Amino acid sequence: MSELKSESKHMHWSEWLAQRVISEKKEPYVISGGMTTSGPSHLGTLCEFLFPSVIRDAIRKHGKDCKYYFVADILDAFDSVPLAMEKYHSVLEPHLGKPLCVVPDPTGQSKSFGDHYLDEARSLMTKFNVHPQIIRINEYYESGKFDDWAKFYLENEAQTRSIVEETSGKAEKKDWSPIQPICQQCGKIATTRVTSHTIDAYAYSCDRDVKYTKGCGYVGQNKISDHKYKLVWRLHWPAWKQIFGTSIEGAGIDHHTKGGSEDTCCHITKDLMKKEYHIPYRYGFILFQGKKYSKSKGIGMGVSDMVKLLPIEVIKYMLVRPDLEENIDIDPNSENLLKTIEDFEASAKLDPSKLDSMNRSDQKKAIAFGISADNKTAWKVGFLDFLLYYQLYRNWDEVAKYTGDPQGAAYLRPYVEEWIARDFQPEDYKFKYAPNPSEMVKKFVSTLNSSMDGLAIHNAVYDFAKANGIEGRAMFIDIYRSLIAKDKGPRAGKLIAALGVDRLKKDLGI
């Protein structure tokens, strides 16, 4: 164990955790994770299924098998209409307080509202090559897999409550119970409370006001075997880890803070269940312009938009390169996304066999590239070059020809077209080739020859300006105005090289 700690500084976090699992736990290894699918997926929810997959892959590289269970927690209460569904507000509002798995999908595409966003997550998992066994947790409750733990908590209610209060740092209400009944009359789970119970049965009243909805007033009773309940979160979480036989599971830093549910889970498992604890890990927040992503409030660019702008492997790289507990602040404007793409492209040039000779920053880049792209990339020419060439030629056959990278052109085509369709290019790359040359620019272009590359042309601008008594900056502005009717644009040497000196001379009548 001490050896692993000393080596962890030179490992990716997935490898460090994989080695912990192999050294500390017994086979069969199980990694679990999950989320409540109550709104559109964003980069924060993407990490919920991506990080466990990366760790599972690291375990498998050691020749060990590892099962991966992903829990869709769709028995949770439907507590708000997300912005993405606001047009269906009148249809959805009557179902507030019910389990997500029984709220109808107003689009008619999925089994339920919770399944609507679970299906979206499934599609993303496929895109990101993540293949867990997906568990609709309501089905586990309906089949009785949680019944023994529900009875256990009810039988040990006083001690259970004591642990919850001590670890959360707050006193629970007088009518607190380990279970949340589902009302037989109105179907709500958010508004019920247990009024009395035995080990395997309970009475309840649906009379709570939770601000976003109120109970119907029904008074009823059920048996645990009726499966009309859900355990409260701080007890539900440790129970599922016993059901799945979890070896390792992570959660966001908020769960791991003092008073968070991780403390409760640990003490419930060790002190009440008398079970061995899994290996916990924590990961930082994915922030959007400094704010925590929110599915319901619509804060943050959704993954469905992000995957149209960035190749999958670039998004994976962006998320797995930082240290696990580091917050990742995403500001998805064109400049920042281009920096990410260029960082990914630079990492492709690092030799993974020479990690020991790299600085820590390059080590992280090389390892993240291997994880996200399996040490190969689908394009050779830079993304920014494709963006430039396509705007000049507007023909992908021409782009493939002049870049010399037909495979890359075919692969990046949908992304480049999406950037242009959304007017997402950086300002310097928003242009239309419209030659209207000054006499000085025509004179300059006449000095060029077709063997010159972008750098040589760029340097030639300075040489020409100096020889003709012109300020370098003024010469560049003259070139841009003559070619794209703007004062700024892509690097002039690269722009002219992409156009081709011979073509440019013809277009300028030289």
Give me the residues paired with residue 202 across strands: 197, 222
Secondary structure of residue 109 in the 3-state scheme: coil
Opening angle at CA 144, ends 139 and 145, nearest 5: 80
Give, as one character, the DSSP assignment of residue 26.
Answer: P
The reported pLDDT for the residue numbered 301 is: 65
Mean model confidence pLDDT for the chain: 93
What is the CA 382 to chain-centroid distance, rounded?
A: 24
Who's near 251: CB < 8 A, 6+ residues apart? 261, 262, 280, 282, 283
Give, as one character, the DSSP assignment of residue 188.
Answer: -
Q: What are the Cα distances from residue 437, in Å, to 299, 494, 504, 505?
A: 47, 18, 10, 11
Q: What is the CATH number of domain 439-507?
A: 1.10.10.350
Q: Which residue has the tokens 């990690």?
A: 355
Q: Is the pLDDT of residue 299 over 60?
A: no
Q: What CATH superfamily is the domain 1-140+284-329? A: HUPs (3.40.50.620)
Residues 240-267, mean pLDDT to the nearest whole number: 96
CB-based contact 32:240 (threshold 8 Å): yes
Residues 405-414, mean pLDDT to the nearest whole number: 98
**Pick from 13-17, 223-227, 354-358: least confident:** 354-358
> Where exactly are the structural domains of the chain?
1-140+284-329, 144-172+233-244+251-278, 179-231, 439-507
Task: Write the pLDDT tens digit of every residue in 41-72.
Answer: 888 889 999 999 999 999 999 999 999 999 99
**Pick from 36-50, 201-215, 405-419: least confident:** 36-50
How many residues are there in the chain?
510
Q: Is the pLDDT of residue 294 over 70?
A: no
The reported pLDDT for the residue numbered 375 is: 86
In percent, the amount of the chain with pLDDT more than 70 equals: 96
Task: Write the pLDDT tens digit of every residue in 121-137.
Answer: 999 999 999 999 999 99
pLDDT band at 5 (very low <50, low <70, confident <90, very high): very low
Torsion of CA 55, 59, 62, 67, to 10 degrees: -140
Higher pLDDT, 489 or 375: 489
Residues 150-161, mean pLDDT to the nearest whole number: 98
Q: Is the pLDDT of residue 6 over 50?
A: no
Who's near 36: CB < 8 A, 6+ residues apart? 73, 74, 76, 100, 114
The reported pLDDT for the residue numbered 292 is: 65
Task: Write the pLDDT tens digit of every residue in 220-251.
Answer: 999 999 999 999 999 999 999 999 999 999 99
Q: How far apart are CA 435 and CA 454, in angstroms?
A: 19
pLDDT band at 412 (very low <50, low <70, confident <90, very high): very high
Q: Which residue has the tokens 């440790």?
A: 238
In percent, the amount of the chain with pLDDT more than 90 equals: 88
Q: How far apart are CA 71 and CA 134, in angstroms?
A: 6
The reported pLDDT for the residue numbered 304 is: 82
Rounded to 10°, the helix 454-467/492-499 angle is 120
The reported pLDDT for the residue numbered 186 is: 98
Q: Which residue has the tokens 């792209």?
A: 373
Q: How far apart are CA 165 and CA 337, in angstroms?
A: 45
CB-based contact 348:305 (threshold 8 Å): no
Torsion of CA 99, 234, 23, 29, to 10 degrees: -20
Q: How far apart are CA 507 and CA 78, in angstroms?
A: 63
Residue (of 307, 494, 296) closest to 384 by Cα position: 494
Q: Is the pLDDT of residue 11 over 80?
A: yes
Backbone φ, ψ for residue 134 (5° rounding): -85, 130
Residues 392-411, mean pLDDT to the nearest whole number: 96
Q: How far apart are CA 221 and CA 464, in angstroms?
A: 90
Q: Which residue has the tokens 């924060």?
A: 44
Task: Write the pLDDT tens digit of every residue in 431-476.
Answer: 999 999 999 999 999 999 999 999 999 999 999 999 999 999 999 9
Torsion of CA 405, 411, 416, 419, to 10 degrees: -160
Q: How far apart are CA 64 and CA 451, in angstroms?
A: 55
The reported pLDDT for the residue numbered 293 is: 56
Give me the residues paired with residue 67 across strands: 30
The reported pLDDT for the residue numbered 43 is: 84
CB-based contact 62:11 (threshold 8 Å): no
